[in-house]
Chain A
Amino acid sequence: MSIYDVIFYLFAILTIGSGYLVVTSKNIVHSAFYLLFTLFGVAGLYVLLAADFIAIVQLMVYVGGILILLLFGVMLTNKVTDVKIRTGTIHIIPAVIGTGLLMGVIVSMMLRTNWKSEPGELPFTTTYGLGRILLTDYVLVFELLAMLLLIALIGAASIARRDNE
C-alpha cells in the first residue's frame, strides 16, 4: 500500500464517516458542522486526483461559502436550533433491498467496466487549460452558465421578498 493509497483511504473514511453523522445527528447545528468534514474530505479527494482547480473551488464555494451561509441561516432562525429532527427509519426492509440492489449494481459496474483511459502525464496545473477551454470550445456553456446564475438570482430575490396583501 503506497502513501497515495493511505491518503486516499484517510480522506474516504473522513468523507463517509462524517456523511453518516450528518444524516443521523439529531441536532441540526451538529449536522451542519459534520457537513464541513464531508465537503473537506471531498476536496482532499480532488487534490489526490490532481484536479487542483476543482479542489480549490470546492473549498472556497462549499466549505467557505455555502456551509457558512447554512450555519448562519440555522443559527439566526433561533427556533430551528432547538428543534429535534426525527431521524428514525421507516420502511426498513424495502429500503435495504433497494439500496442493496443499487449498491450491488454500482459495485459490479465499477469492477467489471473497461473505463476509458488515455495515456499521458498528469498536468502540473489544470487552471490554464480549463480557462482556455472555457473561453474557446465551451464558451457557449460558459455564457449559458451566466444566464443560469442570473435566473437563480432573480428566483432567489423573488422567493425572499416579503409579500404584503
Chain B
Amino acid sequence: MINEILNSITFIYPELAVSIFLLIIVLVDLVFHKDKKYIPYISLAGLVITGILVLNQIGITHFAFVPQLSAVKKYGMMTIDPFGSYFKLLVVVTSILIIFFTIASEEVIDLKERLGEFHALIYGMILGMLVMISASDLILIYLSLELLSLSSYVLAGFLKLRERSSEASLKYVIYGSVSSGLMLFGISIIYGLTGSTNLYVINSLIQGPQINLFTLSFSSILMFVGIGYKISAAPFHFWTPDVYEGAPISITAYLSVASKAAGFALLIRFIQTGFTSFISEDGYWTLIAVFDWQALLIAISILTMTLGNFSALWQDNLKRMLAYSSIAHAGYILLGIAVLSNQGLIAVLIYFFVYMLMNIGAFYVVMLISNKTGSENIDDYDGLGAKAPFLGVALAIFLISLTGLPPTAGFIAKLYLFIALIDANMIVVAIIALLNTVVSLYYYVRVLKHMYLTKSEREQENITPSIGSLVYLLVLLIPILFFGIYFTPIVEFARSCVSLLGI
C-alpha cells in the first residue's frame, strides 16, 4: 500500500513542484508584504523547474496511484504518457510566456499589493490543468476541472474596480457552475451504469451486452457539456466573448490557450481511453459501438467554427474579436479529434503549439497598444503601421498566421489538419473548414487595413516598445516564421508524443 503511494509520487513531480511553489508564493506574499516585486520571478523559477521535470517525463508511460483496495488492481488514477507530457509542456511554456506577459502589462503592474494572490491563483490554474491532463479517473477529472475553474473565476474578475471585469467573473461563475453540475450528473450516471470511475475499467465494462445505450449516450453528452464549456465549443460558448473582453488581457490570453489545451487533452483522453476498443495499424481508432462520437464532434465543430467566424466579423473590440477567433480555432481543433485517428491527433498537437505562439503574440501586441491608449477599439489601430512599425509588422504576422496563410506556421497547422481530414475521406467537412478559413481572412485583414490604409484622425505620439517587449515578440515571431518554412522538427516531436497509454 505505502509502496504504491511512494512509487506513484515519483511520477507526479511536476504537480508536486507546482504545489510547493504555490505555497512558497503564498508564504512570500505574507512575509514580505511590503515589497512584492520578486513574486513574478519566484513563479518563473517554479515554472522553469516544473518544465524541466516534465521534460524528464517525456517518453515515460506508466500508471500512478493504482487503487490497492479495489478489485481491479491494474489501472491507476493518473496516467503518465507522452501525450500527456506534450500537453503539460505546452501548459508550462504558455504559463512562462504569460508570466512575462504580466510583467509588461500595466493592468497587472497597477495591482501592486495583490500581486501575490494573482500569482497564487495562476498557480492554482496550472495545478488544475496538469492534473486534468493526466487524470484517468472521473473523480480526479472533476476535481481538477473545478480547481482550474475556481482559480479562473477569480482571475477573470481580478480588476474589481472595472465593471466589465466583475461582470465577466459573474458570468463565468454562473455558466461554469451549470456546466460542471451537468458534468457531475453525467459522471454519476456513468458510475451508476458501470460501478466504476476509472476510465479504463469503464472501457472494458461498456463493451458488455447489458449496457443501456440510451443512458450511456445521455451521460456522454453531459460529460461533453462540461468539457465543451472549458474549450468554449458552441453551443456552450456564450460566456467566452464577455469573459475574454472583461478579464485582464493577460488572463484572456491564458484562458484562450492553456485552459483550452487542458480541456482538449481531457476530451481526447476521455474518448481515447473510455471509448476506443482498438487502434488499427494505420492509426485509426475503432470506437466501441455505444455512442457515435464522430457525428457529435463533427456537428459541434462545424457549428463552433461557423458561429465563431461569423460573429467575429462584426466586432470592433479587438479582445472580443480574438475571443470569437479563439472559438473558431476550437472548432478547427475539434475536427482534428473528430477524425479519430493518430494522424488527426498529430494535427491537433501541432495546431496547439502554433496556436499558442500566434494567439499569445496577438494578445501581447493588443496589450502593448492598450497600455498606451487604454482601449482595444479597432479605431485605435488607425495608422499604427506608420506610428509603430515593429508592432504593426508583428501583429500582421500573427494575424496572417491565425488565418493560416503561408509562409507562417499557422499554414502548417491547418495543412496537417486538412491532410488528416482528407485521409479519412471527410472531404465535405474539409471544404466547410476551408470556407470558414476564407471568412476568417476578412476580419483578420480588416485589422491590417486599419493599421496600414486608414489615416488616424487624432494626433498620437509614436509607440515605441521596450527592449523586453521586442525580445518577447521576437521569441514568438521567429518560431512562427521558422516553422512555417522548416516544420519537420515540430512534426517529428508531435509524432513521438502521439501515444496514449492504451488498454
With contacts A112-B215, A115-B193, A147-B127 known, is A155 near B22, CB below 8 A? no
Chain B residue at minimal CB-CB distance from A158: B117
| Pair B22/A147 contact, Cβ less than 8 Å | yes
Q: What CA separation (Å) do A157 and B29 show in the bound complex?
A: 13
Query: Nearest-CB distance from B220 to chain A (Å)?
Result: 13
**Chain A residues whose CB sits within 8 angstroms of the CB of B189 once the complex forms:** 109
Interface residues of B (CB under 8 A from A): 1, 5, 8, 12, 19, 22, 26, 65, 67-70, 77-78, 114, 117, 120-121, 124, 127, 131, 139-140, 143-144, 146-147, 150-151, 153-154, 157-158, 160-161, 189, 192-195, 210-212, 214-215, 218
Contact B195 A140 (CB under 8 A): no
Cβ contact within 8 Å between A138 and B1: no
Q: Is A144 an interface residue (CB 8 A)?
A: yes
Chain A 127-164: CB-based contact to B (< 8 A → 1; otherwise 0): 00000110011111100110110111011011101010
- Do A137 and B117 touch (CB < 8 A)? no
**Interface pair B26/A163, CB less than 8 Å apart:** no
Chain B residues closer than 8 Å to A151, beta-carbon distance? 120-121, 124, 147, 150-151
Chain B residues within an 8 Å CB radius of A132: 69
* B116 nearest CB neighbor, chain A only: A154
Q: Is A165 interfacial (CB 8 A cutoff)? A: yes
Other A-B pairs beyond A113-B212, A140-B140, A145-B143, 7, CB < 8 Å: A113-B192, A138-B77, A140-B65, A144-B144, A154-B26, A158-B121, A161-B114
Q: Is the CB of B192 within 8 A of A115?
A: yes
Tell me, rounded to whole Å, the shortest Cβ–Cβ distance linking B176 to chain A: 13
A112 x B157 contact (CB < 8 A):
no
A residues near B (Cβ < 8 Å) are 105, 108-109, 112-116, 118, 132-133, 136-141, 144-145, 147-148, 150-152, 154-155, 157-159, 161, 163, 165
Contact of B68 among A116, A137, A159, A165 (CB under 8 A): A137
Consensus secondary structure, chain A interface: helix
A139 and B65 alpha carbons, distance in the complex (Å): 8
Alpha-carbon distance A148/B144, docked complex (angstroms): 9
Please tell me if the beta carbons of B157 and A159 are within 8 angstroms of each other in the complex. Answer: yes
Q: Which residues of A sit under 8 angstroms from B154, Cβ to Cβ?
A: 154-155, 158-159
The 10 closest A-B pairs by CB, nearest first: A155-B154, A137-B67, A151-B124, A116-B195, A113-B212, A158-B117, A113-B215, A109-B215, A148-B147, A140-B65
- Identify 13 residue pairs between A and B in the complex whose beta-carbon atoms are under 8 Å apart, listed by A's number: A112-B214, A113-B214, A137-B70, A140-B8, A144-B127, A144-B144, A144-B147, A145-B143, A148-B146, A148-B147, A158-B117, A158-B158, A159-B157
